[in-house]
């Protein structure tokens, strides 16, 4: 049985594991309440980028 060589120092453990499906990228952007009602802009961004956009109201 061949022995395994050590993992290079520049790789993290998660990078060395490989396999699996990466998680989708998520970006959180805080928007002032007076700008949240810009529905047409939001719809256009969704349509052009094919991104899922979820608006969560912030408590003030």
pTM for the full model?
0.32
Which two tokens mark 46? 């969704």
Q: CA-CA distance, 43 to 37, in Å (whole number)?
A: 11
Delimit the domains of the chain by residue range: 25-60
Q: For 3-56, what is each residue's pLDDT tens digit?
A: 555 655 555 554 445 556 666 777 777 777 777 667 778 788 888 888 887 777
pLDDT band with cut points at 50, 70 and 90 for residue 1: very low
DSSP classification of residue 10: T
**What is the reported pLDDT for 22?**
66
Measuring CA to CA, which residue among 27, 7, 23 is closest to residue 15? 7
**pLDDT over threshold 70, residue 60:** no
């Amino acid at each position: 049985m061949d022995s395994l060589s050590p993992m290079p120092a520049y790789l993290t453990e998660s990078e060395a594991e490989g396999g699996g499906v990466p998680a989708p990228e998520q970006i959180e952007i805080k928007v002032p309440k007076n700008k949240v009602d810009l529905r047409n802009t939001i719809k256009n961004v969704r349509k052009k980028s094919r991104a899922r956009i979820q608006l969560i109201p912030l408590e003030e």
